[in-house]
């Protein structure tokens, strides 16, 4: 009987997992493995794949010699410096407010998420228009209060500011809703106990909300880091990596090298360097989480 049940379980596990396993193996792991192989070749994406020619570690050596790779990594870190504080602090603030049981809260919750569901292609075009100097609304509004708006997307400083601001605009809803979910998991008992002790709102925030929200915060930070390192769509449409490489990013370089400069092998090597960066960052986050995060119960 017991043996029968064990077999049933194995068969069930196999049946349930099979579609996902086949799909992930064929459509994700296999292409990933192929890209490792490509990264050791000088494939130009013009000759047929069967004529691929291997050159050892040269592409990886070139990645570390390539100025543009460094620039793009540097830009990502500049992006993170602007983006992460906003997304975490503002996101937490939004989530705390959205957690209130007030009238119209359903509308507010629905509204913050609208930018998240739309495509980067569409919103990038809308923002390119809003930030346009000739007919853009942003500089018009600035001119009403007597400020001469910058050349947003063509200035090597303001272009990055614009990219950060627009990305915060698009992602803040996602972060807030995830954090809201985390907040709703915190039992009211803690707050009631604190109220009995006469704790201030500020103290409650730091002593209860933040520590108990920390697992969700870590999740949000990790996901945001993974996404930030792959920053691409908005850059391609809004600035095309310019001006003079000021908003160039790693994936933008990968795309350019692969499809415009015919250096697929080099692009694959760049991707795997990126993979190592993201993987390390994720591992570090996991490690930090284990050390710092407070778990309920």
Partner 1 sequence: MRGRAWMIKNGMIHLFLLAASVTLLFPFVWMVSGGFKDSLEVVKMPPQLLPSHWNFDNFRQIEQFFPLYRFLLNSVGVAVATTVLQLLVCAMAAYVFAKIAFKGNQAVFMLFLTTMMIPAQVTMVPLFILFAQTNLIDTYAGLILPGIFSAYGIFLLRQNIMTIPNELLEAAFMDGASYYRVFGSVILPLIKPTLAALTIFAFMSSWNSFLWPLIVTNSKELMTLPLGLSKLQGKWSTEWNLLMAGNVISFLPIFGVYLFAQRYFIKGMTMTGIK
Partner 2 sequence: MLKKSGITMLLIIMVFLSACGSNNGNNAESSAPASSSSPSESASASPSESPSASKEPVTIKALMYTPNGGQEETMKAMVDAFQAANTDVTVDVEVVPYADYETKLNTLLASGSAPDIFEVGYENFRKYAEKDLLLDLNPSIEADASFDPGIYKKLAYDAFNYNGKQMGVTESFSDVVLYYNKDLFDAKGLAYPDASWTWKEELEAAQKLTDAKAGVWGTYAPIQFYEFYKTIGQNGGGVWDAGGKPTINSPANVEALQWMIDKASKYKVSPALNDDTFNQPDADLNAFVAGKIAMVRFGIWNFGRFKDAPFKWDIALEPGNTQKAHHFFADGLTASKTTKHADAVWRFLKFYTSDPAAVSKRIEAGWSVPAVADDAVMEAYYKQTPPESKKIVTEALDSLVLPPVGPKPEMWGEFTGAVGEELDKAKFGKSTAQEALDAAQKKVEELLSK
Site residues for partner 1, 218-237, by CB under 8 A, read 219, 226, 230, 232
Determine contact, residues 83/168, Cβ cutoff 8 Å: yes
Residue 3 touching partner 1 (CB under 8 A): no
* Partner from partner 2, partner 1, none binding residue 262, C-beta < 5-8 Å depending on class: partner 2
* Cβ distance to partner 1 smaller for residue 117 or 196: 117
Torsion of CA 284, 287, 292, 294, to 10 degrees: 120
- Binding range to partner 1, per CB under 8 A, among 23-31, 150-158, 192-200, 202-210: 23-31
Long-range CB pairs of 236-240 (<8 Å, 24+ gap) are 237/120, 237/121, 237/124, 237/125, 237/128, 238/124, 238/127, 238/128, 238/131, 238/153, 238/159, 238/162, 238/163, 238/166, 239/153, 239/159, 239/162, 239/163
Residue 101 lies near partner 2 (rule: CB under 8 A):
no
SS3 41: strand
C-beta of residue 278 within 8 angstroms of C-beta of residue 226: yes
10 binds partner 1 (CB under 8 A): yes
- What interhelical angle do 158-184 and 67-85 show, nearest 10? 50
284 binds, among partner 1, partner 2, none (CB under 5 to 8 A by kind): none
List of E strands, the chain = none
Interaction pattern, residues 46-75, with partner 1; x per rule: CB under 8 A? ---x--------------------------
Q: Does 216 interact with partner 1 (rule: CB under 8 A)?
A: yes
Q: How many whole angstroms separate alpha carbon 95 and alpha carbon 181?
A: 9
CA–CA distance, 268 with 162 (Å, rounded to integer): 29
Near partner 1 by CB under 8 A: residue from 121, 244, 284, 294: 121
The answer to the question of residue 146 lying near partner 1 (CB under 8 A) is: no
Q: Name the one residue in this structure whose structure tokens are 């960052």.
A: 281
Q: Using CB under 8 A, which residues numbered 227 to 286 contact partner 1?
A: 230, 232, 250-251, 254-255, 258-259, 264, 267-268, 271-272, 274-275, 278-279, 282
Distance CA 131, CA 266 (A): 34
Which residues within the stretch 12-71 sit at the binding site for partner 2 (CB under 8 A)? Answer: 26, 30, 33-34, 37, 40-41, 43-50, 52, 54, 56-57
For position 32 contacting partner 1 by CB under 8 A, the verdict is yes
Stretch of 68-76, 150-158, 213-221, 239-247 contacting partner 1, by CB under 8 A: 213-221
Q: How many angstroms separate the CA atoms of 94 and 111, rounded? A: 12
- Residue 194 Cβ, how far from partner 1 at the closest point, in Å? 17
Quote the least distance from Cβ 61 to partner 1, whole Å.
18
The residue ranges that bind partner 2 (CB under 8 A) are 26, 30, 33-34, 37, 40-41, 43-50, 52, 54, 56-57, 132-134, 139, 151-152, 154-156, 242-245, 256, 259-262, 264
């Amino acid at each position: 009987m017991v043996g029968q049940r064990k077999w049933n379980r194995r068969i069930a596990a196999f049946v349930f997992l099979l579609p996902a396993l086949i799909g992930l193996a064929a459509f994700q792991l296999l292409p990933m493995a192929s890209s490792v192989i490509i990264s050791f070749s000088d494939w130009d994406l013009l000759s047929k794949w069967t004529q691929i020619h291997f050159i050892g570690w040269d592409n990886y050596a070139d990645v570390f010699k390539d100025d543009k790779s460094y620039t793009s990594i540097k830009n990502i870190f500049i992006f993170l410096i602007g983006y992460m504080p906003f997304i975490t602090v503002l996101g937490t603030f939004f989530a705390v407010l959205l957690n209130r049981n007030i009238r119209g809260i359903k509308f507010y919750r629905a509204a913050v998420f609208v930018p998240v569901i739309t495509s980067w292609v569409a919103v990038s075009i809308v923002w390119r228009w809003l930030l346009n100097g000739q007919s853009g609304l942003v500089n018009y509004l600035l001119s009403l209060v007597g400020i001469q708006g910058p050349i947003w997307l063509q200035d090597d400083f303001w272009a990055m500011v614009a990219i950060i601001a627009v990305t915060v605009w698009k992602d803040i809803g996602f972060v807030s809703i995830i954090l809201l979910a985390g907040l709703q998991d915190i039992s009211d008992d803690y707050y009631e106990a604190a109220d009995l002790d006469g704790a201030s709102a500020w103290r409650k925030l730091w002593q209860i909300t933040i520590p108990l929200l920390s697992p969700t915060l870590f999740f949000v930070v990790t996901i945001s880091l993974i996404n930030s390192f792959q920053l691409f769509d908005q850059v391609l449409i809004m600035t095309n990596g310019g001006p003079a490489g000021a908003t160039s990013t790693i994936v933008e370089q990968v795309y350019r090298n692969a499809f415009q400069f015919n250096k697929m092998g080099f692009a694959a090597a760049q991707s795997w360097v990126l993979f190592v960066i993201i993987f390390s960052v994720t591992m570090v986050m996991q490690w930090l989480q284990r050390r710092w995060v407070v778990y309920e119960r």
